[in-house]
Structure 1
């Protein structure tokens, strides 16, 4: 981003928890000049709420409140071209199931030389962005995870930045080719300044490595699987702080399969415990075991499980939660597809995906096999289609 020294035109695309806190972080940082900070959402209700906002208040992890955070404008859905075209960096922070629709609406308007930045950039973001950008010389950047824990308090008015990861890895490409070392250095410096104090560093590999990195597909799914086996429950348990050993074992098994695939591709990852320490070292009180990295993590404190209460008062897994509708088809299934394409066997993933098929009424595998079915409507509706 050659324009970084003069100031950047940034558009935040999205309007959820992360978008609120990213707006606050971008306004609060003092290392990178901004020419403008605007928001674009495809939801008319979100556009109207932001347009009426008199300012955002963001509570920091320390408890300090940062008031009167303002945008320079809200881009109208009906005529977004000029303002999207003027953006130097478009920060895409939307749920995985919305990525395809968002990119199909945004990419036709971006200019040559701009940056499309998915945070997070896993879940098929980078491949999907390349599909919609085509041969246009636009840099696509994606992080392995979301670098913050964010909670919306009152829409377009207040949010809570619960915690931040220490560092964040990303991959970048232009025209389907890895960016130059000079461009990579520029991206690292600019992103680290924009989202200070999170430090950004480049990842060995590309889009596949972003998608394979052990993240929510390892963190959420084993806990859901364990809770499903134990339901119905008398109360809604703490999600991360309640992690039990059998669920930790499944997490490690899943992460080992992802490690096996990434090793095959030439870019092995650290084990799951090292991943947790890399991102949450200063938030974890007891790092003696992988389980304690979850149960004593201040960033995860107090968060309940995605469950719903039945009429009899018992709690059961909510299969409509984002943990299901994102982490299965837009994360675990993509890992399976990369493994399948590279002839790496994934029996644990197969078991979990089959469980999800039955539970959600979906069809991902060819009947009688553990191979992804490219003709299945459920596969075609997921970004995994870009991997087959």
Structure 2
């Protein structure tokens, strides 16, 4: 997106994952920062003296920073773009407005084995795309590896136990009768699916990789949002059928070519 808007001669950098989790305490005044990482990974594009900026970022964030070789190493991520949509689907795909939530469900502390199964299936498809793009093994670990788990049960237990994830509620809105319904305007829906998960789906189509688990979530979101995400040729630059107007095929292809080169 940045290359498309600013031009591919612009100096850019991006982290593989956020340096911490932040939550507003009092809007405009204070916030809590949780879940600090032991180390961070960053990639650069069109920047001279990368080592200087590695040192600068390490100092600013008080965290060791390592440099990755290419922007695709951090653009392709199985964090929020897979983690959030998989959980949303598990939580809300069977939601019935006649049976609303009495309390907002906890996003992580109530994590289920079913949520893990969906997440693992999406991650397998994601890893197929990663391999096809040519990203080196180990740059983007599987979610089972990242969360030190071996299967859906152990992954669910791990996600329920992470201290930084405590107290994070699923996106819901309070209704007039005091019950709660899914908040389909929340960023977990409006950002992580059409811009996060769809980027992975877009790359999969470029690489001719089938993604049935990811498609199931996207089709469900299409029904909620009224947007046509999978209708027509995603690769075509056609604003009438493709919802991802920010994705430029030429820019994406140039990134892939430069990675292979």
Fold conserved between structures, TM > 0.5: yes
Change (3 A) 1:252 1:135: closer
Check whether the contact 2:24–2:32 (CA below 8 A) recurs between aligned residues.
yes
Task: Look up the SS of the partner of 1:159 in the other structure.
Answer: strand
**Matched residue count:** 240
Does residue 212 of structure 1 match 2:83?
no
Task: Look up the SS of the partner of 1:332 in the other structure.
Answer: helix
Aligned to 2:15: 143
Structure 2 segments unaligned to the other structure (5+ residues): 254-261
Task: Look up the SS of the partner of 1:246 in the other structure.
Answer: helix
Name the larger-Rg structure: 1
Aligned to 2:207: 342
Q: How far off is 1:331 after superposition?
A: 0.5
Task: Look up the SS of the partner of 1:160 in the other structure.
Answer: strand
* Normalised TM-score (structure 2): 0.81
Aligned to 1:125: none
CA deviation vs aligned residue, 1:304-326 (integer Å, no higher than 9, x gap): 11012334443221100000110
Structure 1 segments unaligned to the other structure (5+ residues): 1-127, 278-287
Q: How far off is 1:170 after superposition?
A: 1.8
Distance in 2 (alpha carbons) for counterparts of 1:372 and 1:359 = 23
Distance in 2 (alpha carbons) for counterparts of 1:311 and 1:228 = 20
* 291-300 or 209-218: bigger deviation: 209-218
CA RMSD, aligned part only?
Answer: 2.5
Aligned to 1:261: 129
Task: Look up the SS of the partner of 2:159 in the other structure.
Answer: helix
Q: How far off is 1:274 after superposition?
A: 2.4
Say which structure is richer in strand.
1
* Normalised TM-score (structure 1): 0.56
Residues 299-378 of structure 1: pairs in structure 2 closer than 5 A: 299-366=164-231, 374-377=237-240
Aligned to 1:294: 159
Residues 136-175 of structure 1: pairs in structure 2 closer than 5 A: 136=9, 138-174=10-46
Task: Look up the SS of the partner of 1:233 in the other structure.
Answer: coil
CA deviation vs aligned residue, 1:202-252 (integer Å, no higher than 9, x gap): 235x33332322110221111111111353322211111111000111011
The structure, 1 or 2, with the larger RCO (C-alpha pairs under 8 Å, 6+ apart) is 2
Check whether the contact 1:273–1:293 (CA below 8 A) recurs between aligned residues.
no
Aligned to 2:87: 223
Check whether the contact 2:11–2:45 (CA below 8 A) recurs between aligned residues.
yes
